[in-house]
Structure 1
């Protein structure tokens, strides 16, 4: 299975970089993982909504250019569906069995995502009702993907 994480912004904090590397390494036997970053757009503090919308759209355009034809698109969004790890593992397994072995996850920037990108998604997924920094979400997502594969294969999750 090929999994791509498309994200706005570069990871800066060492602990996040190290965590993503660790779970990426653990994912090796289960899937080919690719993490792609697009630069975030500058946005002034207290910008009007119209300016924020423009920033979101510019970031969405950059993300859309990196999407592969035919990929199964999962967009992380606070308004998305919340699923347990077991439910998401079942969806991943079903996706692979039905021929969708190329999956792309999108993580937006600090302002979120433009509607144009959300509308293209096969699944809008929320990791929690809580709000997390978008850079931390990348680590959470990589860990969850690893967990989903462990669940699919009925393997114990090693802490």
Structure 2
């Protein structure tokens, strides 16, 4: 199952980019044998200042046709890392070819886009900077692949 990260905004070089690159490399290496990956990232940017609705339209176009759309939202479902790994495996085993994790901009996701998603995932009730959420998604994908592979990376 191919994994896509569709996010509003451009991530420049820096510590967040280095962390994402590291976790993506690890995920691709670990996930390959599990039928997870490769990981692809798509960044969209509303240069015309249309707000959340314009960002939502750009995000919608970045999600591959037929992909399961997962929005990152504080109102979504909170899961443990093992639960997230099990969910990824269920999507994969259910025949999903693609899953897209969508991250909104500084103002979040447009309500219509959020409502149209297949799944809403939360990293807790706190609001996180969208650039950090990218790092957290990449790390949790690697952690999920590690859990599914029986690797000692995740300790309970």
Normalization by structure 2: what TM-score? 0.89
Moved over 4 A (4+): 40-43
Identify if the C-alpha distance between structure 1 residues 13 and 129 changes in structure 2 by more than 3 Å, giving closer, same or farther. farther
Q: Give the Cα–Cα distance (whole angstroms) in 2 for the partners of residues 134 and 42 of structure 1.
A: 20
Q: CA deviation at 1:12?
A: 2.7
Q: Give the Cα–Cα distance (whole angstroms) in 2 for the partners of residues 136 and 98 of structure 1.
A: 30
Once structures 1 and 2 are overlaid, which stretch shifts more, 1-10 or 127-136? 127-136
Contact preservation (8 Å) 2:68, 2:118: yes
Residue correspondence of structure 1 range 6-155 to structure 2 within 5 A:
6-12=6-12, 14-29=14-29, 30=31, 31-40=37-46, 55-155=51-151
Q: Give the Cα–Cα distance (whole angstroms) in 2 for the partners of residues 82 and 13 of structure 1.
A: 30
Q: Give the Cα–Cα distance (whole angstroms) in 2 for the partners of residues 87 and 2 of structure 1.
A: 19
Deviations 1:32-57 (A, max 9, x none): 000100014576xxxxxxxxxx5100
Coordinate RMSD, CA, aligned:
1.7
SS where residue 77 of structure 2 aligns?
A: strand
Gaps of 5+ in 1: 44-53
SS where residue 3 of structure 1 aligns?
A: strand
